[in-house]
C-alpha cells in the first residue's frame, strides 16, 4: 500500500468522503486572567451534554473546503491510501 499526503485540490472536491465530525460536549472550560500573576487560568464547569458539529452551521460542505484551495496560509492536506499492483508484487516477492 502507498500513502500519499498532499494539498487538497479543486478536483478532489467531488470525491471527498462524508466525514462525521460530530462530538459530545460534556464540561465547559471557563478561561480567566489572574490579576495577581497575570496568567491565564481555567475552571471546568459541568453543563448538560449536547452534540456538536463543526460543520453544523455550514450550508454547503464543499464551500467550506474551497476556501482553503490555493491559499498558502490556510492549507488542508489529504492522505490517500492506495493499494497498487506494484506494492502487492513487491510485498509478495519479499517473502521469498
Tell me: the pLDDT tens digits for 29-78?
Answer: 999 999 888 899 999 999 999 998 876 655 555 557 888 888 888 888 88
Quote the cell numbers at residue 72: 498558502
Q: How does DSSP classify residue 16?
A: P
Check residues 85 and 71 and name the one with the higher pLDDT. Answer: 71
Q: Which of 94, 91, 81 has its CA nearest to residue 2?
A: 81
Instruction: Give the three-state DSSP class for 10.
Output: helix
Q: Which residue has the cell 506494492?
A: 87
Query: So what's the pLDDT on residue 63?
Result: 57
pTM over 0.75: no
What residue segments make up the domains of the chain, in order of their start? 2-94
Indicate the CATH number of 2-94 among 3.40.50.2000, 3.40.630.30, 1.10.1300.10, 3.40.1190.20: 3.40.630.30
Amino acid at each position: 500500500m502507498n500513502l500519499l499526503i498532499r494539498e487538497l485540490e479543486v478536483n478532489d472536491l467531488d470525491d471527498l468522503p462524508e466525514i462525521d465530525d460530530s462530538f459530545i460536549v460534556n464540561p465547559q472550560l471557563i478561561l480567566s486572567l489572574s490579576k495577581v500573576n497575570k496568567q491565564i487560568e481555567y475552571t471546568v464547569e459541568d453543563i448538560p451534554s449536547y452534540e456538536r458539529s463543526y460543520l453544523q452551521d455550514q450550508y454547503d460542505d464543499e464551500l467550506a473546503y474551497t476556501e482553503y484551495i490555493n491559499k498558502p496560509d490556510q492549507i488542508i492536506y489529504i492522505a490517500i491510501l492506495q493499494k497498487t499492483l506494484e506494492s502487492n508484487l513487491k510485498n509478495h516477492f519479499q517473502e521469498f
